[in-house]
Structures are given as C-alpha cells and as structure tokens.
Amino acid sequence: MNRVRSGWATRSGFYMAAIGSAFGLGNLWRFPFVVGSNEGGAFVLLFVLCVLGVGLPVLVGELMLGKLTGQSAVNAIQKTSKDRKSHWLWVGRLSLLASVLIFAYYSVISGWVLYFLMQFLVAPIKGESFDTAVLFKRLMENGHLQLGLTSVHIVLVMTIVAKGVREGIEKWVKVTMPIFFVLLLFLMTKSLSLPGSERAIRFLFYPDFEKLTLTSFVQVLGHTFFTLSVGMGAMVAFGSYLQKETPTPRAGFMVSGLDILISLLAGLVIFPIVFSGTVEAEVGPSLLFETVPLLFSQMGLGNYFGFTFFLCLYTTALVASFGLLEASVSNLVDRYNFQRGRASQIMGVVVFIFAILPSLSSSVLQNVTFQGLSLLKMFDALLINWILPISAAGICLLVGYKLPEKTVRDEFVDERLVDSHQLYGLWRFTLRWLAPFLIFGALVAELFDIKS
Ligand code: TRP
C-alpha cells in the first residue's frame, strides 16, 4: 500500500501551494461580506483570535496527519485508527463530502470571476466601459451562462489536476501571487483616499461586542476553517507530500499569518468603497463584484487594471480549486488505486452535478428558498457553518487522541526553540479540549439562534 509519493520539489514549492490553497475567494470574496453582515470590528477581532487559537492548531494537526501517515485523509485515518471499520472513518468521509460540495459551490463563484475577467478583456477592445451593477444583475438572471461558466472552471481544474501535483500547482502560484499582493496594496491606497475611509477603518477595527449575535460564533469558526482550507482533508493530502525536514508548526503559522493579512487587506480595499456612498452595495455574495470594479472605472488604464485584478483573482480561485479537487482525487488514488486522470474525471463529473443547484439559484430556481435563503446561500450556510466545523472537530479529536503521543511530540517539538515544549502542550490541549468544546458550543448556540 505504501507507494512512493512525489514530494514537493522544493520547500518553497510546498509553501506556495499551501498558501495558494488557503488564499482564494475565501479571503477576497467571502471574508468582506461575512464581516459586513456581522457588523464589522468585533467580528474581525474574533476572526483573528479564532484563526490563531483554533484554525492554526487544526491546520497543524491536519498537516501532521498527512505527513506522519504519508496518506490522504480517509487512508490516513484508517492507518491511524488501525481498523478498517473504525467509526473514525466517518470523519474522513465527512471531510471528503465537504471537499466535493465546497468545490461545487466554489466553482459557481469562480464562474462569476471568469465572467468579469472576460468583460475586462473585451472592454479595451470595444473601447467602452460598463456598468458593473447592470452586468452583475444580467449574470445573476442568466442561469445557463452561470452553469456554462461553472463547467468551464471545473473542466479547467480537472485537466490541470490530472497532470499531477507538482507541475500543475507550483509554476502558476509563483508568478501570480506576488503580482496580486502588490496590486492589492495599490488598490488599498486608492480606496483609503476615498471620502469614506475613516468610517471604514472604524467599522473594521473598532470592536463593538454588542453587535455580535449567537450565530456570529459559528460563522467565525466556519469561515476560519474555510479560509484556511481545513476540515476537508485537503491539508492532510498536502501534508503527505511534505518533506521530512520541513517543520509542520512553522508551515502552519506561515499559512495562517498570511491568510489573516490578505483578508484584512481585502477588507481595506472594499469597505472604504462601501462607505464612500458611491454604490448601493448589498452586503452579500455580490459585494466584491459591486465594489472593486468601481475603483477601476475611476482610474487611468482602469480596464487593464481590472483585467489584471480579475486574472489574479481567477488564478487564486483556480489554485484553491486544485487543492479542493486534489483532496478527493488523492483519496481515490490512494484508496482504490485509481489512475490520477480517471479519478479527476470522475470527481469532476460528481462536482458538476452538485454545482447545478447553486448555479441556477438566482435564475430558474430563484423561488426555491429556505428560511429566506436562496439555494446558494443555503449551500454556503450548510457547508461552512455546519459540515466544516463538525468535520474539523472530528479531525481535532482524531489527531488529539488517536495519533501516537510520542511520534506527534517528536514531530512537533523543535529542541532549538525555547518555548517549543509549552507550545506543544497548548496545541495538544486545544485539539483535545478547547477546539471541540468551542465548536460544539457554537453549533448548539446556532441551533438556539435558529429556533428563537
Ligand atoms: N481556503 C480557500 C479560500 O480561501 C477555499 C478552500 C476551502 C480550499 N477548502 C479548501 C482550497 C481546500 C483548497 C483546499 O478560498
């Protein structure tokens, strides 16, 4: 069973891929609107605490599970629990389900990005600018177009994943990520020069705890797992490609730190536009698309900047999607000896079937709602506020109780660092007690919030 796995070609290759999978639509598209709908500052503070206090430990746990077993999620769990019929396997299955469903929903939004990318591509050719709000509305009303764009995205990802981890991911990320980072900094300076910027900064960084509701807690946990790409076995697969000498805690820390930084940057680009009063942006999935393009319409060479922005954004979505598909493909390959190409095709088709509902949710199926939520929003809530936290809790317990103590300790502790032993104790406590307790508490709180 223990086939030789292709490790990452270089250490930076792993970092780029792990960061690449964490950094995506979660930071730029989802973070701002979740912050908006939870009234800002207090939620942002909670998010930062939650990433460092809960997300990071779970991330390190997932990477370690993969690195120590050399397997992807379901197999890694089986190897750890030493039993083919162990109940723990349900954790693996749930995380697999999460990765498939999240990929389906992610593909719909990636399709939206693709649409804007195309608009900015043709705008300079046509020599005219466009009204973003009208454009977005047109896209929302056109279910066939959304379904088409979604399938283009899925096919693209499938083709690239079929080629294997190394070549596919490493090259792409290295070029676009630095460009995107600089572009975001530039957009932030533009945004902060708008009249609403002081209010935006206050909104983002002044914590008013009275604005939090019970559901805010589960939302912040769910978003933390989503944005760090944990809870769905993706990082188990990534960890299994990690080279022996790369320290797992450090890898986790880098990924979490950067993820926070980029999310805050996205907030600082988007909220000044919202507060400048030039748009009537709805605080929901359309927020990014209704705000950022306005910056481009106000600057010289705006269409080119717009094109670059959406190209970089699409690339991050693509790279994150590799990770999502990889999570399920690597399970098929490791567990059932499928060929990579075949496994990618099968998963691609499954994902497409699941993507049909959310991609039609604002057109043909717009009347299908549940508690006032459209199908897309329902998908989002079910996955991110329920399935992910539950599966992340399972992973915490598995790593905390089932992996052999000594092996884990040897892997975690770095004798050269003074506090390494204390950190290890804290980490283990978080996985065994704190994180499961918080997740359970938040889910119960959400149940009450829904009922009341
Ligand atoms: N973290 C990614 C983002 O912020 C989305 C994501 C969730 C993901 N789960 C994943 C990416 C698993 C790769 C693998 O957009």
State pLDDT tens for residues 5-32.
555 556 666 677 677 778 899 999 999 9
Q: Is residue 1 part of a domain?
A: no
Number of Cβ atoms within 10 Å of the Cβ of 182: 11
* Token pair listed for 447: 């149940």
Query: Does residue 319 line the site of ligand 1, with CB under 6 A?
Result: no
- Of 342, 324, 341, 343, nearest in space to 332 by CA: 343
Whether residue 234 has its Cβ less than 6 Å from ligand 1? yes
Q: Is the CB of 362 under 6 A from ligand 1?
A: no
Which of 34, 102, 109 to probe ligand 1 with, by most ligand atoms within 8 A of CB? 102
Position 296 in a domain:
yes
> Residue 329: CB within 6 Å of ligand 1?
no
151, pLDDT greater than 60: yes
In angstroms, what is the span from residue 426 Cα to ligand 1's centroid? 26
Would the pLDDT of 40 be above 60?
Answer: yes
**Residue 161 CA: distances (Å) to CA of 30, 100, 255, 327:** 24, 14, 22, 11
Cross-strand bridge partners of residue 373 = 370
Question: Which domain, by its residues, includes 27?
Answer: 11-451
pLDDT at 366: 86
Determine, yes or no, domain membership for 4: no
CA 359 to ligand 1 centroid distance, Å: 19
pLDDT for position 4: 42
Please state the pTM of the whole predicted model: 0.92
Whether 303 is in a domain gets the answer yes
Pocket residue to mutate for ligand 1, from 33, 173, 262, 324, most atoms within 8 A of Cβ: 324
What is the pLDDT, as a whole number, of residue 155? 92
Domains of the chain: total: 1
pLDDT of the residue at 127 = 66
The answer to whether the CB of 44 is under 6 A from ligand 1 is no
C-alpha 418/C-alpha 415 separation (Å) is 7
Measured CA to CA, the distance from residue 103 to residue 119 in angstroms comes to 24
| Residue 420, in any domain of the structure | yes
Q: Whose CA is nearest to atom 9 of ligand 1?
A: 229
Q: Tell me how far apart the alpha carbons of residues 212 and 239 are, in angstroms, rounded to a whole number.
A: 35
Which secondary structure element, helix H or strand E, spans residue 74, and what is its range?
helix 73-81
Reply yes or no on whether the pLDDT at 3 is more than 60. Answer: no
Once rounded to an integer, what is the mean pLDDT over residues 373-399? 90
Is 130 within the bounds of a domain?
A: yes
pLDDT, one tens digit per residue, over 248-260 is: 888 889 899 999 9
Ligand 1: does its nearest atom lie under 6 Å from the Cβ of 387? no
Q: Which residue of 19, 107, 229 sits with most ligand 1 atoms within 8 Å of its CB, as the best mutation to test the pocket?
A: 229
Question: Is residue 2 assigned to a domain?
Answer: no
Q: Is 237 touching ligand 1 by the criterion CB < 6 Å?
A: no
The CATH number covering residue 284 comes to: 1.20.1740.10
Q: pLDDT by residue (tens digit) across 67-126?
A: 888 877 777 877 777 766 778 888 888 888 888 999 999 999 999 999 999 998 887 777
Mean pLDDT for the stretch of residues 356-381: 88
Scan for tokens 């162990």, then name that residue.
86
Residue 95 Cβ inside 6 Å of ligand 1? The answer reads no
As a whole number, the mean pLDDT across the chain is 86
Query: Which protein residue has the closest C-alpha to ligand 1 atom 6?
Result: 229
Residue 302 alpha carbon to ligand 1 centre in Å: 29
- Residue 214 falls inside a structural domain: yes
| Cα 319 to averaged position of ligand 1 atoms, centre (Å) | 9
Q: Which atom of ligand 1 is nearest to the CA of 231?
A: 9
Ligand 1: atom nearest CA of 106 is: 5
State residue 295's pLDDT score.
Answer: 86
For the cut 80, the answer to whether the pLDDT of residue 281 exceeds it is: no
Give the Å distances, CA to CA, from 60 to 64, 258, 392, 433: 6, 15, 12, 16
Is the pLDDT score of 427 beyond 90?
yes
Mutate to test the pocket of ligand 1, among 29, 99, 226 (most ligand atoms within 8 A of CB): 226
Q: Is the dihedral of CA 414, 415, 417, 420 positive or negative?
A: positive
- Which residue type sits at 345? Q
